[in-house]
Structures are given as C-alpha cells and as structure tokens.
C-alpha cells in the first residue's frame, strides 16, 4: 500500500527510513504544541481547545502534504504569525480573537486563489530578495522581544521604555537555563533539543513548586470553545484589511521559502524537471483554511522538516508519520497545560535567533536595498507589529529606488504592495 501511495522505490527509500525521518521531524517541531497555546491563550481563547486545534491542524496539514504533494514536510501553526495574531491584532489593535480567526480564514482563501491562478509566482518573483530576508529577520526580532518579556528578562521602564528585569527571580532564571539547555543540545546535534529544553524547565518548575503537576495522559479536551468560532464578517472590517494583507504576504513568503529550501535538500526540486511545488502550496493554503476553522493561527510548512530529510525522508510517508504523531500528542493535554510561559520563552528566543541568519542574505553594499531591509527588521520589534515593519520596508524601498533613479527596477508587485501600505498608513492607522 505504501509503495503504491508514495512510490518509495522510485525515491530510493524504505518504510523504515521514512518512519524514522518522520519521528525525527516531529521531535524537532513538536515544541509548537506547547508554545502555540501559551501565545494564543493570551487573547482569551481557551488554552485546552487551542492545544487540540494545534495538534489537529498540524496532523491534517501534514496528512494533506503527504497525500496531495507526496513531500516529506511537516506542517503546524507557524511561529511569528501566531505572535502577530495575539499581540498585535488582538492585544494592540483591539479586535476579537474571533475576528482574527476570520482574517486568517480569508488570508487562506486568498493564498489558495493565488496558488491556483499562478499569481503567487508573480508575487514571489516581484518582491525584492533583501526585503524577503528582512521579513524573516524582523519576525525573529519580534519573537525575541516577546520571549524576553514573557521570561521577565525584559520589563517595562517608564524612563527608557524597556529595562532589565530581576534576574534573581525563579522565572527568569529558569528561562535562562532553558535557553542554554536548548542551545547546547542543538550544538551537539541532539534531536528535539527545543522540546527537551521546554520539558526540563517544566519539570524543574514543578519540583520548585512554581508549576503544578496535573498528570501526563488523559482523554483529549474539547475543541468546542474555538471550533468554527471565527467571525468572517467581522474580519471584513476596514481596520483588518491590512492585517489580512500581512497574513497573506508572510504566508506566501514563508511557505514558498520553506518548501523550496527543504525540497531542494531532498532533491525534489531540480532544474528542468517537473516538481510538485504547486501541489505542496495547495496543501499549505488548504491547511491555513482548515486551521482557522478549528481555532488556530496560520498553519505553514516547517523548516524543521530539513532534519527529517537529513535522516533520509524523501516521500509523503514521512509527513504521514508526523501527522500520526501529532494525533497521538492529543492525549498529553495535562502536560501541555502545566507548561509555564518561562518554559516556552527560551524556545521562542532560540527560534528567534535561528531566524536572524537571514541577515546574511541582505545586499548590504547597496543602500537602496539595505536601508529598507534594516527598517523592515527594526520596525517589527520596536512597534510590536509585523505589519508596521512590512509597511516601512516596502514604502521606503520604492521611495529610495525612485529618488536614486532606479525606478525601472521596481517590480509591479512591489509597487502594488507599497501603495496598499500607504493607503493603510494614511486611512487605517493603528
């Protein structure tokens, strides 16, 4: 059956290799089942329901990737957009989490249409490479400041906006320990280093009496508090238009970049040969829509899938294994509920650091490329908004290119996005 479904011999792999690859990828990305509920529950959403929605969205997305695209790529709610969802759309802009879910649903439909019509390729080709790298870097910085704040390492200071927290407190100390556990294990190539770091801090917090042990295994909690609770009509509110634009842009860049990067490593995308990238993006956009219906932020392909490819994964059987493991994770909800924010903060901070690697891809020798990229990355953490970073970047890119006589290199897609952000800044300011 597996041979017929996934063409294992054609890809030079076996069932055993694919299953091991799936377990490897799951271990490296399963931290999301603890981190995502911690972030999204700040909006007032039911934490247990988010846990279930996260597991189901990851399982469904990975299964669709397996059966539609036959690629060894795991999917789950994405880091960055979950923070944008919680801390910008709901906390800063004041929209309800139901409206935010509606915005995610609409962005998924738009992504689906862009993929089916081929407009996605035009959009990707038209956005400057430096800006794409800056977006990933900026999201990393955004996650970084959220992580440091959640850990109590960075605190509010009326005189300087931010300041150093009390590092003698239990929370910050455990978060610092967690970060070093993750970093050291990852440097030693230990699979699941982020997951291990979260669990180490959680267990220590229980021993110290600052977190309560609630058990490990139980029947999965109800998804009812978030299932089909999205407010699509409310998401069409004028103030949410730019939010939908941000969701679409980040989803398209993130998914395309991750899928191509991992697929190249697995030799699934080669020059002059037909690939299944279109099917993979179709799976990605479908998962976004399904995830919003369940009650979670945008679902996307995970770059951690590269670890499974490194372990030999070449087909959708790897992704199907990941899907089954996320379904099995539904039964550890008591453990997930006991994970404190200072256990997930080091994971956020470490992922933030990994995203900073994109800085090397920016063309620093060309100021008309470097300055907009720098503005994009800097504005995200300092305005606490991915949307503002994108607006600063696209608008400044167009202005600098026009003013230096390089207007002819500006792709229509960049002009369109910049114009949309100008309208947003002028008429729909936060």
For residue 162, report the phi and psi dihedrals to the nearest 5 degrees.
Answer: -130, 155
Closest CA to 118 of 277, 288, 302: 277
Residue 252: CA count within 13 A, CB half-sphere: 26
Number of neighbouring beta carbons within 10 Å of residue 322? 36
Report the C-alpha gap between 269 and 362 in whole angstroms: 24
Taking only the tens place, the pLDDT of each residue in 256-299 is 767 776 777 667 765 545 567 778 888 888 888 999 999 998 88
pTM above 0.75, yes or no: yes
Residues above pLDDT 90, as percent of the chain: 18
Is 178:342 a contact under the CB 8 Å cutoff?
yes
> What is the arithmetic mean of pLDDT over 403-421?
87
* Structure token pair of residue 177: 């320990």
Higher pLDDT, 299 or 239: 299
Identify the pLDDT of residue 59: 93
Report the C-alpha gap between 208 and 212 in whole angstroms: 10
Q: How many helices and strands in the chain, by DSSP H and E?
A: 20, 4
**Secondary structure, 3-state, 219-266:** CCCCCCCCCCCCCHHHHCCHHHHHHHHHHHHHHHHHHHHHHHHHHHHC
Report the C-alpha gap between 373 and 364 in whole angstroms: 9
Residue 369 has pLDDT above 70, yes or no: yes
Residue 210 has pLDDT above 60, yes or no: yes
Is 213:333 a contact under the CB 8 Å cutoff?
no
Task: Kindly tell me the burial class for residue 412, based on how many C-beta atoms sit within 10 Å of its own C-beta (0-12, 13-18, 19 or more).
Answer: exposed
Identify the pLDDT of residue 375: 93
Identify the pLDDT of residue 269: 63
Taking only the tens place, the pLDDT of each residue in 38-57 is 889 999 999 889 999 999 99
Closest CA to 148 of 352, 373, 411: 352
Report the C-alpha gap between 266 and 280 in whole angstroms: 14
Report the C-alpha gap between 105 and 227 in whole angstroms: 13
């Amino acid at each position: 059956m597996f041979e017929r479904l996934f063409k294992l011999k054609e890809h030079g792999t076996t069932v055993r290799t694919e299953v091991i690859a799936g377990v490897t990828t799951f271990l490296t990305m399963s931290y999301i089942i603890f981190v995502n509920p911690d972030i999204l529950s700040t909006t007032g959403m039911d934490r247990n329901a988010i846990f279930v929605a996260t597991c189901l969205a990851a399982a469904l997305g990975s299964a669709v990737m397996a059966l539609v695209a036959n690629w060894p790529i795991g999917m789950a709610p994405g880091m960055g957009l979950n923070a944008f969802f919680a801390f910008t759309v709901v906390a800063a802009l004041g929209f309800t989490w139901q409206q935010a879910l509606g915005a995610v649903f609409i962005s998924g439909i738009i992504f689906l249409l862009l993929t089916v019509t081929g407009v996605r390729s035009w959009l990707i080709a038209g956005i400057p490479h430096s800006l794409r790298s800056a977006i990933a870097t900026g999201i990393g910085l955004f996650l970084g400041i959220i992580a440091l704040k959640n850990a109590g390492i960075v605190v509010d200071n009326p005189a300087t906006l931010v300041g150093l927290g009390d590092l003698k407190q239990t929370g910050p100390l455990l978060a610092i320990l967690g970060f070093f556990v993750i970093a050291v294990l990852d440097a030693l190539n230990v699979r699941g280093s982020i997951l291990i770091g979260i669990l180490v801090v959680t267990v220590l917090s229980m021993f110290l009496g600052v977190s309560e042990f609630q058990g490990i295994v139980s029947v999965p909690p109800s998804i009812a508090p978030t299932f089909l609770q999205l407010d699509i009509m409310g998401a069409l509110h004028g103030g949410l238009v730019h939010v939908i634009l941000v969701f679409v842009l980040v989803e398209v860049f993130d998914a395309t970049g991750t899928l191509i990067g991992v697929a190249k490593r697995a030799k699934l995308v080669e020059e002059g040969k037909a690939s299944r990238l279109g099917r993979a993006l179709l799976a990605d956009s479908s998962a976004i829509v399904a995830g919003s219906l369940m009650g979670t932020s945008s679902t996307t392909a995970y770059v951690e899938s590269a670890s499974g490819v490194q372990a030999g994964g070449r087909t959708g059987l790897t992704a199907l294994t990941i899907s089954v493991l996320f379904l099995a994770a539904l039964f550890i909800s008591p453990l997930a509920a006991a994970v404190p924010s200072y256990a997930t903060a080091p994971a956020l901070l470490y992922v933030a650091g990994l995203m900073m690697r994109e800085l090397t891809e920016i063309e620093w020798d060309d100021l008309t490329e470097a300055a907009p990229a720098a503005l994009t990355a800097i504005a995200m953490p300092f305005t606490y908004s991915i949307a503002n970073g994108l607006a600063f970047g696209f608008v400044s890119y167009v202005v600098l290119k026009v003013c230096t006589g390089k207007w002819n290199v500006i792709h229509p897609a960049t002009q369109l996005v910049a114009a949309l952000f100008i309208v947003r800044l002028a008429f729909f300011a936060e």
